[in-house]
Amino acid sequence: MKQFDNYKNIYKYLDYYCYSNYNNNAEIIRYKAIINLYKFLEEYLNITSIQFERLKFDRNDLDLISNKKIDTFEDELKFTRIFADIHFLLVSIEKSYNIIIELYNQLLLQEKSISIKTSSDYKLKKQLRNKIEHMDEYIIKPSTLFHDNWFVRDSFTLTNNTFKLGKYEFELSESNLSLLYHYYDEITLILTKDYVQPVRENVDRILSSIKEDLKANYIHTKNCKE
């Protein structure tokens, strides 16, 4: 699974814009939002990777009981665990999407943000996550379609590598995250090309100068004490 750790390479350059726009509060807020959203995005994308790894172990446990009667609490917990891990996977995927949508807004690319928000891929993940989180409400609906037998029997199915909840399906495959990865890479490229590179040389020079000053002050202080 992919890992995301580029924030440390770009935050100091984005921070520069906050200081260089010290008299423009709106721009300071925007640049700080970009920095923090990008960090938050990497955290949630890493969570999706962690959840996929957990699901691999969950599936291995289920394979061990695939041809036996489920009559122990321990076996039932295996199903509970995989359901919980799928739930949180969907939460982290939707959260990643929401952060990406807002990042494009902050990067002044509103049309891109709108296109993602109205895309079928985003809507599917959102609907699945939403349906799971509101399953308890279906139990008390007056329609006989939502009686507790439905909840126990048909709340979800997992066939091969496909998770199904009602009419919605989700393949538990990293390939299902290709669009998320694409948006992350695109945002990273925009930040690097349009924000980092124009100020890299200047920021590196400033930080190097500060580092040398701190080093000189440390040596001076040490010599004075001796």
Per-residue pLDDT at 70 exceeds 90: no
Q: Which two tokens stand for residue 204?
A: 């590196």
Gap between the Cα atoms of 155 and 114, Å rounded: 32
The whole-number average pLDDT for the span 210-215 is 61
pLDDT in tens, 167-198: 888 888 888 899 999 999 999 999 999 999 99
pLDDT in tens, 130-155: 888 877 776 676 665 555 454 544 56
Q: Tell me which long-range contacts 171-179 makes (C-beta under 8 A, separation of at least 24).
A: 172/52, 172/55, 172/86, 172/89, 174/1, 174/2, 174/52, 177/48, 177/93, 179/119, 179/121
The whole-number average pLDDT for the span 35-61 is 90
pLDDT (0 to 100) of residue 51: 92
Domain residue extents for the chain? 6-224
Per-residue pLDDT at 55 exceeds 70: yes
Please tell me which residue, 153 or 114, carries the higher pLDDT value: 114
Gap between the Cα atoms of 211 and 214, Å rounded: 5
**Of the candidates 217, 208, 188, which has an alpha carbon nearest to the alpha carbon of residue 14?**
188
Q: Which residue has the tokens 């917990």?
A: 77
Sheet holding 162-165, edge to edge: 157-159, 162-165, 168-171
Per-residue pLDDT at 68 exceeds 90: no
Question: Quick one: DSSP state of residue 48?
Answer: H
pLDDT-above-70 percentage for the chain: 81
Rg value, the chain, Cα:
24
Average predicted confidence (pLDDT) for the chain: 83
Per-residue pLDDT at 157 exceeds 80: no
pLDDT (0 to 100) of residue 214: 59
Q: What share of the chain is helix, strand, coil (3-state, %, to 5)?
A: 80, 5, 15
**Of the candidates 106, 127, 110, 123, which has an alpha carbon nearest to the alpha carbon of residue 194?**
106
Please tell me which residue, 216 or 209, carries the higher pLDDT value: 209
